[in-house]
Amino acid sequence: MGKLIQCKVNGESISLEVEPHWTLLRVIRDELGLTGTKEGCGEGDCGACTVLVDGRAVNSCLMLAIDVDGKAITTIEGLTQGESLHPLQKAFMEKGAVQCGFCTPGMILTAKALLEQNSHPTEEEIRFAIAGNLCRCTGYAKIVEAIQVVAKME
């Protein structure tokens, strides 16, 4: 038996009937069609499914959709402003921090949550914040550099 939840997704209020066992990741990708959020491990280990819930970075594969009732969710699709990319998206592209791109949406949302709490993080603080987001391509140095570029702009 489904339950009706109400939440904001990328600034838009929505009502949706969800099954009690559905994860937030499933709802984002399969019910809302926001496929920028990636499914990697499905077990909380890779960070590919990271979204913001009330500004906090969470693994959406581990969160039940019924638990976001009344909350605000931001996915990677919510970061672009019209045609313009978010400064983090631009910096990731310019610094070569996007290779296969699978980790990128989660990585950028984790970085956004970090910069909202701490606008001038040290390299160590950046590396600590992204420790739960795995990247198999970049070796992380370019990702850290991209986040530092945006931190310096703020």
What are the residues binding ligand FES (CB under 6 A)? 39-42, 44-49, 59, 61, 98-104, 135-138
Instruction: Name the residue nearer to ligand FES (CB basis): 61 or 68.
Output: 61
Tokens standing for residue 94: 């310019």
Q: Shortest approach of ligand FES to residue 135 CB, angstroms? A: 3
Q: Which parts of the chain fold into alpha helices (H)?
A: 24-26, 87-94, 104-117, 123-129, 141-153
Instruction: Name the residue nearer to ligand FES (CB basis): 93 or 100.
Output: 100
In angstroms, the CA 74 to CA 105 distance is: 11
Q: Are 20 and 64 a contacting pair, CB within 8 Å?
A: yes
Q: Shortest approach of ligand FES to residue 93 CB, angstroms? A: 12
In angstroms, the CA 152 to CA 139 distance is: 22
Residue whose token pair is 């791109």: 101
Instruction: Name the residue nearer to ligand FES (CB basis): 2 or 101.
Output: 101
Q: Shortest approach of ligand FES to residue 82 CB, angstroms? A: 26
In angstroms, the CA 52 to CA 139 distance is: 24
Instruction: Name the residue nearer to ligand FES (CB basis): 4 or 100.
Output: 100
Q: Shortest approach of ligand FES to residue 1 CB, angstroms? A: 26
Instruction: Name the residue nearer to ligand FES (CB basis): 35 or 99.
Output: 99
Q: Shortest approach of ligand FES to residue 62 CB, angstroms? A: 6
Residue whose token pair is 């009344």: 70
